[in-house]
Chains A and B, each alone.
Chain A
Amino acid sequence: MVTGLGTYLTLSAVLFGIGAAGFLARRNLLLQLMSIEIMLNSVNLALVAINRAHPDSHAGQVFAFFVIAVAAAEASVGLAILISVFRLKKSVESDRADLLKG
């Protein structure tokens, strides 16, 4: 059985959609952060699968490594901001973030 590139790309798009839907629908900041991680990892899947279909260079795989590293940096900054929000508001619900309006 051969799994074509289209299958991987479809799975990647579905994962990306799940992440995006989770980001938009969830009201818990932690879950929103996790949704973003799902989106980034769906991209990694697409990159690696495309690279497998076109194995002349390793651009896609290298790219995936960079995405992993950047996602880690992003998560650390995001969690730091989240902790600061939690300390001040005692809540991680994004609905409570209503000081800035207009």
Chain B
Amino acid sequence: MTSLFGDWAALMPLLVLAGAGMAMLLVDAFVKENAQLGLFSAVILAGTAMVSIGLWDEQVTAATPALLGGYLASDRLALFADVAMCLGAALASLLAGGYLREHKLDRGEFYVLLVWSTLGAMALVRATDLLSLFVSLEALSLGVYCLVAFRRHSPKSAEGAMKYFLLGSFASAILLFGMALLYGATVHTDFAGMAEALRTGETGDGPTDLRLGILGMALVLVGLAFKVSAVPFHMWTPDAYEGAVTPATTFMAVVVKAATIVVLVRVFFGVFGTEMLAAETSGWPSAVFGLAAITLVVGNVAALVQKNVKRMLAYSSIAHAGFLLVGIAAAAQLDEGRLTTETVSSVLFYVLAYTVSNVLAFGSLIVVGSRGKEAVSYEDLAGVGRRHPWVGVPFTLGILSLMGFPPTAGFFAKYWILEAAVNAGGAMTYLAILAVLMSAVGSYYYLKVLVYLFMKQPEQGAPVAVPMRSGYVVAALVLSSYFVLRMGLAPTAYLELAQGASYQLAGLPDPSAQPAEPAPADEAPTEVAAAPE
């Protein structure tokens, strides 16, 4: 990458997607069949993921920090999140290519909004300054509000969008107030400066005001908890998920969640990772612990009583947020005054596994319904798996993966989070036990889907679901099935990527890297000298 683009290589994923997003606005005016735009956006999103993978071994040159001005990072955490989010967004736009045409909602702006929201998410996971964090979070959110409101003639869609918008901007305001207080406490807006001021108690312009800092940290946690839909800040989730068109729901479930979890990791481990703020009993890890416990319980129990499959999947995504928070709380263990950030890899692997499993589950739900007969309730699924096995098989795979059943991606994802929690010991062991119990509760509503798919028949006179036919949707299902199985059967490669990201975040040498590799810092000065102005 660096040989091709020089110092600009670090920005390449963002630039590629931004350029393609603008091109899409133009292409939209000329294509006759809008579904082709779905294919186009899927291709460019996949291409962006490739660019990010290409940057894996050389994320920065010596000139990168000056180029990015301290506002954006370019590290493996961001690149890993890029891959997960671009993959999820690419699959969601393939799903949209089939879904929107089938339901006569075929308008090109859907794909453009999706691409620009993904760009916001990619900037968000790179943010290393409160300013860039806020702006990119809003760039992500504003696009998603529009995606939720996309079905303009549906009162449900408008209502879901309104609720999402109101609570989302309320959360943004809380987050922003927290940021202002942190700025007041540390007199810095860049993460490195804030971390330094919080650690040393010296801002460079007077002492750090820790009371303001702790209040700000609490508000930032609340704001981000809204966005990851952790209980008790989850009220918008089921409504927005149900009201949105299903591809938009998929996008929200995978991309928005992945981005906010990664930014949570970056902010809390990077800025608030000091000995005092991350103390076991009084610091933020105990708050995350509490959020994780209540999110697991409420998410799983509320999912039990749902009659609408999309709502059930919404509550299941809340439950998965609980699992991710368990991983974050488990990783936030102080070891000689330093956070053991390397166990964040379990969270990152979970994000990737959750992305592909969720796309598979939502994609199968899409393929079950056809025009005017969208599958929403369990009854709509009755007997579909028997009558149309090619629909039943991917649905089963997705549901089993969300449940955490081997040999799917979800199994190892859950396994490593639980392993990290048990290794952390102490109260985390109880949280691990709670997580296992709640997974058992969760298997009830997941298996209910399978029971309806294969063991029930539609009642007399009830409308019978007819699966839709779309090459795009089938392609998305095949791809996500491949990743679900691949990550379940051979997870090591993906775990190593996640470990690479978390080791770099922790500032440790990558265990998988060759020891003979020369340090990039040695070469960098000559490179800069050689570079033309």
Contact = CB atoms under 8 A, between A and B. Distances in A.
Interface of A: 5, 9, 12, 16, 19-20, 23, 29, 32-33, 36, 39-40, 42-43, 46-47, 50, 54, 56, 59-60, 62-63, 66-67, 70, 73-74, 77-78, 80-82, 84-85, 88-89, 94, 97, 99-100, 102
B183 A16 contact: no
A81 B176 contact: no
Nearest to A88: B155
A102 B183 contact: no
Given A43-B180, A77-B165, A100 B173 contact: no
Interface stretch (B306-314, B429-437, B469-477, B481-489): B306-314
Given A36-B169, A102-B306, A62 B131 contact: yes
Contact of A56 (B153, B205, B308): B205
A94 B165 CA distance: 12
A17 to B, nearest CB: 10
Interface residues of B, number: 50
B142 A73 contact: yes
B177 interface: yes
B67 interface: no
A89 B183 contact: no
B180 A89 contact: no
Interface of B: 130-131, 134-135, 138, 142, 145-146, 149, 152-156, 158-163, 165-166, 169-170, 172-174, 176-177, 179-181, 183-184, 187-189, 203-206, 238-239, 242-243, 305-308, 311
7 contacts: A16-B173, A43-B180, A63-B134, A80-B146, A81-B145, A85-B162, A102-B238
Contacts of B138: 70, 73-74
B402 to A, nearest CB: 19
A84 B239 CA distance: 17
A54 B163 CA distance: 39
A74 B168 CA distance: 10
- Interface SS, A side: helix
Contacts of A77: 142, 145-146, 165
Q: Which of B172, B179, B204 has the most A CB atoms < 10 Å from its CB? A: B172
Given A39-B177, A102-B308, 9 more contacts: A20-B173, A36-B166, A43-B179, A47-B180, A54-B206, A63-B183, A80-B149, A88-B155, A89-B159
B180 A88 contact: no
B173 A19 contact: yes
Contacts of A5: 184
Contacts of B153: 88
Q: Which of B142, B173, B176, B242 has the most A CB atoms < 10 Å from its CB? A: B173
A85 B160 CA distance: 10
B494 to A, nearest CB: 35
Contacts of B179: 43
Chain A to chain B: the 7 pairs with minimum beta-carbon distance, closest first: A39-B173, A100-B239, A46-B180, A50-B184, A88-B155, A54-B187, A85-B158
B394 to A, nearest CB: 26
Contacts of A36: 166, 169-170, 173
A23 B165 CA distance: 13
Contacts of B306: 102
